[in-house]
Structure 1
Amino acid sequence: MKRAFLYLLLSIVATTSIFASGLTRKEYIQKYQSLAVQEMLRTGIPASITLAQGLLESGNGNSLLATKGNNHFGIKCHDWSGPSMKMDDDRRNECFRKYDHAYDSYKDHSEFLTTRSRYAFLFKYDSDDYKGWAHGLKKAGYATDPSYAHRLIKIIEEEGLHRLDQKGKGDNLIIEEPEDPYLADIDSDLEIDPFGARLEIANGIHYILTKKGDTFYSIEKNLGVTRKKLLRYNDLPKNYILQVNQRLYLHNKRGRAARGYNFHRAKEGENLYGIAQEYGVKLKKVCKFNGVKKDYRVVVGERIWLRKRR
């Protein structure tokens, strides 16, 4: 009994020490906001949501799971074959993923949400709709806490994290950079994806323009999107060979064009597929709006509808 009491006392002291000397909420934001923004530009997951989840799940980066395993999002092993660690959660001695760097945790969080079907509906929300994403995560069963969505929203609004969601949309990042340079040094040996600077946005969807030397394999390796998904996202056949200077969307196109783009006036040399790609709209939707089939030949000057005609 005495030994058990002593062990409990030492655990409390150790935990208190860790949290007392750990990061504050603002320090965590300053240290990891660039990773959240990078993942938003890569996948479309709002930076505010990613960062709020990191804050909440890791206790501002001070939990044992984060400090010992670089796991900032409480992701359990599931089909994981990498390093792991055991901790009590819903049940005793559960298996959690363990990473070499915090960056790996952020990328795996994105992979977790983008590859599981139960989260697919979330990507119908805009990347700045943090409330929709927060309630959607709870609906999809990311956490068992009934107040999970409200806790995320509270963090986002208290810290102004929604401003991060405007990064890449023409607005500057408003949250101040840290004064302590150590906090800005996120895994100094981290290599930033070479594709990062090439990301573009159309209709709220991220894409790259392919260059000479790009392959489906290199894109998957650097951006985490499989060939199968790239083909599906871009309305391409299974045997398609990648072309140079091709617009390649990294997640699902939308069912209609952005507001203000009701139709496109066809130009010389254009086709239905190219128009759909230009505006980030699913080809089958463009066909439906115009009452035509995929192989329809557009006429110069013709209106190609990008939204449902009123």
Structure 2
Amino acid sequence: MYSKILLLLIAISLVSCHASKPTIVTSKSQTSQKQRSVVQTTKKPTYSKSESNIPASTKNQNQTTTEVIESTSRTVVSNDVIDHYIAAYKDVAMGNMKTYGIPASIILAQGILESGAGKGDLALTANNHFGIKCHNDWLGESVRHDDDASQECFRKYNDASESFRDHALFLTGKKRYASLFQYEKDDYKAWAKGLRAAGYATDPRYPDKLMSYIERYQLHQYDAQVLGKKYDVSQSQAVLAAYKSTPNNPNFSYYEVQKGDTLYSISKKFNILIDDIKKNNNLSDNTLSIGQKLIVK
């Protein structure tokens, strides 16, 4: 009896030992994550309607100033844009002066004025930097643009250099401009007045605008460079002296225009409306000259 019980216990013990299995430790593999392409976008700043034509770089008047150029389209540019325009095309202008006898200063001044320093509609859409219309002898491409009349025909070029060359050919090939080439090549004042007299522009202040750009940005130095003459700063100094010699009225406050100044920057500096500055100083447009005295209060 006891032997049977003992055998049964031994049997149960053996079965339980074989039934236990070793523990297997498993780790769940990490799921590979799909890579995502992240595209960073910069939201363009929004401006009020009155500011919509002013480049963002010109908002901070401590860094740069703006200027309104009345070309074939109303264009707002900074003085830096005009400086860059001059740097980009001064060599082309001097080359045309050597080849065709047109003062480089006049070429650059006309380019700045007519193209809005390269930012005007015609310059951007047609590479037309001088506002030259089609006329009957033009066989190239053209664009339509509102000017003196609605949807007038203007010449279109493949690049800006073609526009500069065509400008030279336009002046040398038209009889009405023949009198210009009787002037000295460094007499930019005579050329500016002669262009208006010959009918290049209808604006009565066209010569003053050209001369203003030439004097403010010292474009006549490129005429001297082509002619092998020493650049005479006394020309600019004479203009400044003329402005400074104007007697002050003790009842007004005056401001002397500095390089890069515009009516906009001056209006902000003295908290006065642009229209009031123009009215008080009998200005018909936004053209200023370095050294010019303006009534500001």
Q: Note the C-alpha offset of 1:126.
A: 1.0
Does residue 116 in structure 1 map to residue 174 in structure 2?
yes
Partner of 1:153: 211
Q: Where in structure 1 do 4 or more consecutive aligned residues deviate above 6 Å?
A: 11-14, 20-23
Partner of 2:188: 130
Residues 167 and 173 in structure 1, CA contact (< 8 A), matched pair in contact too: yes
Letter in 2 for 1:115: G
The partner residue of 2:83 within 26, 29, 52 is 26
RMSD over aligned CA atoms reads 2.8
Assess, with a 3 A threshold, how the Cα gap between structure 1 residues 19 and 141 changes in structure 2: closer, same or farther: same
Segments of 5+ residues of structure 2 without an aligned counterpart are 1-46, 56-74, 233-297
Mapping of residues 102-251 of structure 1, within 5 Å: 102-171=160-229
Query: Residues 32-73 of structure 1, C-alpha deviation per residue, up to 9 Å, x if partnerless?
Result: 111110000001100000000000001111001001111000
Q: Note the C-alpha offset of 1:114.
A: 0.2
Alpha-carbon separation, structure 2, partners of 1:102 and 1:154: 23
Partner of 1:45: 102
How many residues end up aligned between the 2 structures? Answer: 167
Query: Residues 178-222 of structure 1, C-alpha deviation per residue, up to 9 Å, x if partnerless?
Result: xxxxxxxxxxxxxxxxxxxxxxxxxxxxxxxxxxxxxxxxxxxxx
Q: Flag the structure with larger Rg.
A: 2
Q: Note the C-alpha offset of 1:167.
A: 2.2
Q: What is the SS of the residue equivalent to 1:77? A: coil
Partner of 1:76: 133
Alpha-carbon separation, structure 2, partners of 1:20 and 1:161: 18
Letter in 2 for 1:101: D
Alpha-carbon separation, structure 1, partners of 2:196 and 2:78: 31
Alpha-carbon separation, structure 2, partners of 1:23 and 1:149: 23
Mapping of residues 76-95 of structure 1, within 5 Å: 76-78=133-135, 79-95=137-153
Assess, with a 3 A threshold, how the Cα gap between structure 1 residues 31 and 16 changes in structure 2: closer, same or farther: same
Assess, with a 3 A threshold, how the Cα gap between structure 1 residues 21 and 116 changes in structure 2: closer, same or farther: same
Letter in 2 for 1:147: R
Percent identical among aligned pairs is: 49
Assess, with a 3 A threshold, how the Cα gap between structure 1 residues 21 and 155 changes in structure 2: closer, same or farther: closer
Residues 23 and 61 in structure 1, CA contact (< 8 A), matched pair in contact too: no
Segments of 5+ residues of structure 1 without an aligned counterpart are 1-8, 175-310
Partner of 2:62: none
Partner of 1:101: 159
Using the size of structure 1 for normalisation, the TM-score is 0.50
Assess, with a 3 A threshold, how the Cα gap between structure 1 residues 23 and 104 changes in structure 2: closer, same or farther: farther
